[in-house]
């Protein structure tokens, strides 16, 4: 059974940093394309960052310059480095990864930015 297991969320003060991880297991395929989404209370899920099979990255305007998406093929893990965090970054963060021909979702991890 393919699983994406997220970790790294938590409570951080404004201006702080967190690194989210999303580890894939149970698949014969590695992570190629992958995205991070987030969903704040009362809001729709939004795309935060994406990385293509070729390694190109794109970011939502709200996080550009502060967040970095990356992928470690040897560990079959993707990451979201989040710096200069703001209260409006508070949300549940979800990874979405393409392994072989299929897409899978992580279970979500809570990020709370508050003083």
Averaged pLDDT, groups of 10, the chain, 115 residues long: 93 98 88 94 96 95 97 93 98 95 94 97
Q: What are the residue ranges of helices labelled H in 35-115?
A: none
Q: Give the number of other Cβ atoms within 10 Å of residue 23's Cβ.
A: 19
Pairing of strands 102-105, 3-7: unpaired
Q: Is the dihedral of CA 34, 51, 109, 92 positive or negative?
A: negative
pLDDT the model gives residue 25: 85
Q: How far is CA 1 from CA 4, 17, 66, 101, in A?
A: 10, 32, 34, 15
Task: Note the pLDDT tens digit of each residue in 6-18.
Answer: 999 999 999 999 9
In 3D, which of 6, 10, 52, 62 has the Cα closest to residue 32? 52
């Amino acid at each position: 059974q393919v699983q994406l297991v997220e970790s790294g969320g938590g409570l951080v003060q404004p201006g702080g940093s967190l690194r989210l991880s999303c580890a894939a297991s149970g698949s014969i395929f590695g992570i190629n394309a992958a995205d991070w989404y987030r969903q704040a209370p009362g809001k729709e899920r939004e795309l935060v960052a994406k990385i293509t099979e070729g390694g190109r990255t794109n970011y939502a305007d709200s996080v550009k310059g502060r967040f970095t998406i990356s992928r470690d093929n040897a560990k079959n893990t993707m990451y979201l480095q989040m710096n200069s965090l703001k209260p409006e970054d508070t949300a549940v963060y979800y990874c979405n990864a393409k392994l072989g021909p299929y897409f899978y979702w992580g279970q979500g991890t809570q990020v709370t930015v508050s003083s």
